[in-house]
Structure 1
Amino acid sequence: MKILFPLGMKSLSLRAFLVLPWVLGVIGAAQKPTLTTSNHPLSNHQERVEESKLISMNSGTTYYVSGSGNDNNNGRSASSAFRTIQKAANLTQPGDTVLIMNGEYRNSNPGQVVYITRSGNANAWITYKAHPGHSPKIKHNAWHGIEIDRGASYIEINGLEVEGNNANISLDYARSQRYNGGNPLTNGNCITADGRKNGRSRHIRILNNKVHNCGGGGINIIQSDYITIDGNEVYNNAWYSVYANSGISMWQNWNSDSNTQGYKMIVTNNKTYNNRQNIQWIATGTITDGNGIIIDDSRNTQNGSNLGRYRGRTLVANNVTYKNGGSGIHAFLSDNVDIVHNTAVLNNQSPELSGGQIFAAESSDVKILNNIFYSFPGKRMNGNSRSSNITYDHNIYANGGNIVVRGANDIVADPQFVNLSNNDFRLKANSPAIDKGTNFSAVKTDFAGNRRPSGKGYDIGAYEYQN
């Protein structure tokens, strides 16, 4: 399907990051799988989770960009900085770094502020990051704040703020646009890597960014491989788009190689909140998404994809996800996913949705371990609708939600957060989560960077209690 964008833009295929499935609200009755009661360290999947924290040690050219710069400068020093990030992006070679200084960076067209199409390589990544001590902001009303396209790979985005157009949109205006899939004012996204045309991307790191107020998705990864999304704060996204977006989404992961060892897709240490779908999905006329984090259709069943099932393994760990319209975290039509050491609180804010705080739907080989579920009374905590080989264990369920599937070592108890009303989900000294988790040694630190375990055993949830 094609849509023709206004203002002379190129014709693009329908943004399927924008077309997330009907996951919640229509999933059928869950079936209870056979649960294992042993620990699940997955020692054969010990991808270096710490890789997501690395800053590329590049040895190429450093380009400087400043809100007071000029694109006629040479960009080689802070005093001769470019004015636009795009000017630097058009010059980058493997090993280069783009240091972005204070300033506000806006789009000059309805496409994007920064369009990244040039690749690094395995030994020389291209890095876009905030200059030390600076807080640059990309602010846009385009389709994307940052778009990685045309197979650009070995790219790192680090320490930037990307803000969308929500502040300039009213709910009444968004509702008037509910059948308009070609309006970037309501459908724009914050950060996107899109592999559906002109080549697929691999080896992308999206680290330590603040991503917010985009009417479409926050961080969207489409048909890509070897992706790390770590340490980001993702909030107030998905409000106004007609395409059923979420805070962080990985859609139709792509097998760039035959590797099935270790984690290739990593979503860790992120805070996602208040991502919510307020406008019905144009495909169904219903509210379906607005999730904190979704691993979506890695089987590649939708929109005519011929990529086949993704064979790599995905890790979703140490995330704090709360007050999203849809789920906190879930896997849909996806396999080989480990969802461990997360804290999910009062998600399913949308009245139409009650799929769960963390769950799997139409998926297989999903391990859901060491998580805290804090649900609305009467709404689902979890589920595994039409799924197989789904393991729930060593989790805590609280606040009266419906536990569809319960593992042998799962606990129903108040997790004893430090301050629930202020969204401080650290554990008090008397928390039943302390030392009750299973040994999942691939996750060596907690959300705050503290080492796991700190006591006799692993704690449940995103935070390890500190004595």
Structure 2
Amino acid sequence: MMIYGFSFLSLSASLILPWALTGLVQGERITESLVRDVRQSSTVQEMRLPSRKLISAVSTATTYYVSGNGNDRNSGLTTSSAFRTIQRAADLTNPGDTVLIMNGVYKNSRNAGSVVSIERSGNAKAWIRYKAYPGHSPKIQHNTWSGIGLSNGVSYIEINGLEIIGNNANISLGYALSQKWNTSNPRTNGSCISIEGRDRPVHHINILNNKVHNCGAGGISVIGADYVKVDNNTVFNNSWYSVYGNSGISLLMNCNTDNNRGYKMFVTNNRVYNNRMYIPWLGSGTISDGNGIIVDISKLGKRGAYRGRTLIANNITYRNGGSGIHTHESEHIDIVNNTAYENGQTPTLKKGQIYAGYSSDVKIFNNIIYTKPGQKANSNMKNTNVTYDYNLYTKGAVITVMGANDIIGDPEFVNPSNGDFRLKARSAAINSGYYWKDLKTDCTGKPRRAGRYDIGAYEYR
């Protein structure tokens, strides 16, 4: 079941579905590198029988095909016999299988809680992958609780190269305001990708290279999970109409599935913009979130405070309603080499572009923090062991805390009004950063030079 929950303990609300829907909607809802798909196989142990030949059984991974012109009565085993729905393939997958999704628009059926609900797991040596067919651009479009939902303790799943579109285009602000107390309306409260692990922790999930937009609630919502990589996604126009506090990319109540204290959660190389709230969060009656990226209440996970580290790096966040990036009641987080530009579009949200609040063991290094004059660049609310350093702030920014090697200057973006945040040759960000040994490339995959990094998501040369 895909269930959302909100933190009544948190100043920052997160995506929720009403607990009362438990009986109505079933099956809602890393350090792994991007690697080439390899056909996987597993072999049953061979047994020797007297005076018999050696007997073995081999199970080979399967590739399923889905097409906008397919039919669920087909075998799904070739492009010419493709399934029509992704769910049909999802219900058949086993470890090592791949689902290749061809051109088409894939919508939820009338009473479904999601377009595709993923509950069958891969394993460490044989992930299950849902991918766009090479050269194709499939679209998942929905007006329900989620486009893609992962739940029921699912693990070792990759979602790669899909476009997920919510229902915002069919909703007016007036209608959304008329629903501001309605917790059971999926048309306004639906998310694009929902990872729901509060009942059973979800783990080892890769969300890669997707276009995620126009969902009334969260863009990519990760709740109660471990070992998740959110990499190279474009996330925009989400969080507009839900009664819950949502953001473009949110990690809520990260959950320990082992004792590893290294990097386990990754939010990297994403472009996140124009996510904001227009409807008050029902928990406070105020606009609370609409951030680009947030790590929320990881100190209060179901299995205790989250012990693993989270890396937030090489992201570009701009013109979101709340912050570009921030942590709330969370710890063990590195926010490195991001570019945040003119976030805080909601007038009542004034805590900064990139900051930590009520957090500990957070490092905020090498970020470009661009504000209009007189606006806050950062905050320092009841933090312990939170370090800001080697960041670039623009002239006129209100800087609450400034590190010893932070600088004030002009990043000299190529064309920020059109979303081009590459650096010009005169940028103050060039060669002004700190060498962060765990981050070798910029947001385009270009190697960062040893020694002094450039500040921000882009390396100039």
Q: 1:19 to 1:98 in 2, by over 3 A?
A: farther
Q: Is 2:406 the counterpart of 1:410?
A: yes
Q: Normalising by structure 2, what TM-score?
A: 0.90
* Distance in structure 2 (CA, Å) of the matches to 1:89 and 1:20: 36
* SS of aligned partner of 2:205: strand
Could you say which residue in structure 2 is the equivalent of 1:361?
357
Query: Which aligned pairs between 1:264-343 and structure 2 lie closer than 5 A?
Result: 264-300=264-300, 306-343=302-339
* SS of aligned partner of 1:134: coil
* SS of aligned partner of 2:443: coil
Q: Is 2:32 the counterpart of 1:54?
A: no
Note the C-alpha offset of 1:259: 0.9
Query: Which aligned pairs between 1:27-106 and structure 2 lie closer than 5 A?
Result: 51-59=32-40, 60-106=61-107
Could you say which residue in structure 2 is the equivalent of 1:462?
457
* SS of aligned partner of 2:155: coil
Note the C-alpha offset of 1:377: 2.2
Is 1:18–1:216's contact at 8 Å kept on the other side of the alignment? no
Note the C-alpha offset of 1:146: 0.2
Which digits, 9 at most, give the CA deviation of each residue in 1:309-357, with x for residues without a partner?
0000000000000000000000110000000000000000001111110
Could you say which residue in structure 1 is the equivalent of 2:133?
131
Which digits, 9 at most, give the CA deviation of each residue in 1:247-268, with x for residues without a partner?
000000001001113x100000
Is 2:132–2:138's contact at 8 Å kept on the other side of the alignment? yes
Q: 1:250 to 1:380 in 2, by over 3 A?
A: same
Q: 1:207 to 1:55 in 2, by over 3 A?
A: farther
* Distance in structure 2 (CA, Å) of the matches to 1:355 and 1:297: 17
Counterpart pick for 1:376 among 372, 377, 392:
372
Note the C-alpha offset of 1:76: 0.2
Could you say which residue in structure 2 is the equivalent of 1:115?
117
Q: Is 2:243 the counterpart of 1:242?
A: yes
Note the C-alpha offset of 1:401: 2.0
Unaligned runs of 5+ in 2: 14-29, 41-60
**Quick check: 289-298 or 55-64, which moved more?**
55-64
Which digits, 9 at most, give the CA deviation of each residue in 1:45-91, with x for residues without a partner?
xx86xx44335434210000000000000000000000000000000
Is 2:12–2:245's contact at 8 Å kept on the other side of the alignment? no
Could you say which residue in structure 1 is the equivalent of 2:181?
179
Note the C-alpha offset of 1:420: 1.9
Unaligned runs of 5+ in 1: 1-9, 25-46
Question: Which one-letter code corresponds to 2:85 in the other structure?
Answer: T
* SS of aligned partner of 2:299: coil
* Distance in structure 2 (CA, Å) of the matches to 1:53 and 1:464: 21
* Structure (1 or 2) with the larger CA radius of gyration: 2
* SS of aligned partner of 1:314: strand
Is 2:132–2:162's contact at 8 Å kept on the other side of the alignment? yes
Which digits, 9 at most, give the CA deviation of each residue in 1:162-203, with x for residues without a partner?
000000000000000000011000000000110112x21110
* Distance in structure 2 (CA, Å) of the matches to 1:122 and 1:188: 31
Could you say which residue in structure 1 is the equivalent of 2:160?
158
Q: Normalising by structure 1, what TM-score?
A: 0.88
Could you say which residue in structure 2 is the equivalent of 1:347?
343
Note the C-alpha offset of 1:375: 1.1
Structure with more relative contact order (C-alpha pairs < 8 Å, separation 6 or more): 1
* SS of aligned partner of 1:299: helix
